[in-house]
């Protein structure tokens, strides 16, 4: 299994929770749909054109949180603009609480991707290595630009089911056996978030799952009812689970 690994780095992020309304609350990590959007931007795919190409059936994506994070609540002024003139001379304003994710240094998220279409992986690797992006990538909201850094291109090997394993990536809770989380690790801060997995072509959420990860970026020891993937690169030996 060919897997491309790269890092997303930035100072601030906002990954809007799909079930919020008046307050713009944020996840601590990018959802799979956000990652799809970043890949689509880098490759120059038009808005809403990549949902099937990068869907779960066509593309495997895993995510690892490499930093501890905290959140800041700010208030943002929105304007009601029914035509261009109201952008210049706005008449109506609404103040909305807006949650921003940041870290003591930089936000860093590691992405692992495998696709049935090898051309996508080749183009993505070329774009990341040469810093050649069709559209500017950002961490969930347009003001929060991010950089992409190539890490490795490796072969992954599937591991056995029903065994205890250290998993570096975010894990779908459905993949964890009953009583299958070891909570004895020092400074473990487990988070469980309900996040969208995929969109349909009409930008409607196709599937929602609950994901578990350590807020401080540690791996978690779990017993899985599915196969994980073992990868080795740059003196790193880790197991991941695709979202």
What's the domain count of the chain? 1
pTM (predicted TM-score): 0.91
Distance, CA of 228 to CA of 222 (rounded, Å): 11
CATH number for position 143: 3.30.70.2660
The residue that leads in pLDDT, 162 or 45, is 45
Place 20 in a pLDDT band, splitting at 50, 70 and 90.
confident
Distance, CA of 44 to CA of 41 (rounded, Å): 5
pLDDT digits (tens, 9 = 90+) for 72-97: 998 888 777 777 777 777 777 778 88
Tokens of 80: 């009601």
User: With 90 as the cut, is the pLDDT of residue 35 above it?
Assistant: yes
Q: Can you give the residue range of the structural domain that contains 24?
A: 2-240
Backbone angles phi, psi at 221, to 5 degrees: -95, 120
Neighbours of 144 (CB within 10 A): 19
Average pLDDT score, the chain: 90
The position carrying tokens 């690169």 is 233
Helix (H), strand (E) at residue 175: none
């Amino acid at each position: 299994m060919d897997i491309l690994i790269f890092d997303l780095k930035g100072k601030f992020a906002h990954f809007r929770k799909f079930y919020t309304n008046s307050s713009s609350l944020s996840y601590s990590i990018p959802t799979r749909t956000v990652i799809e959007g970043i890949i689509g931007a880098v490759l120059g795919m038009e808005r809403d054109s990549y949902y099937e190409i990068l869907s779960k059936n066509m593309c495997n994506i895993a995510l690892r949180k490499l930093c501890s994070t905290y959140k800041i609540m700010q208030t943002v002024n929105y304007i009601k603009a029914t035509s261009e003139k109201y952008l210049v001379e706005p008449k109506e304003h609404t103040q909305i609480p807006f949650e921003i994710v940041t870290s003591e240094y930089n936000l860093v998220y590691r992405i692992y991707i495998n696709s049935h279409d090898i051309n996508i992986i080749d183009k993505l690797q070329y774009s990341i290595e040469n810093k050649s992006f069709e559209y500017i990538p950002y961490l969930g909201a347009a003001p929060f630009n991010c950089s992409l850094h190539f890490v490795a291109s490796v072969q992954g090997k599937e591991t056995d089911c029903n065994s205890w394993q250290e998993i570096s990536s975010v894990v779908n809770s459905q993949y964890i056996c009953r009583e299958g989380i070891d909570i004895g690790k020092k400074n473990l801060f487990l988070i469980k978030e309900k996040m969208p997995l995929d969109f349909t072509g009409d930008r409607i959420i196709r599937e929602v799952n609950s994901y578990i990860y350590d807020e401080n970026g540690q791996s978690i020891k779990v017993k899985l009812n599915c196969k994980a993937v073992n990868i080795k690169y740059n003196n790193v030996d880790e197991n991941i689970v695709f979202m």
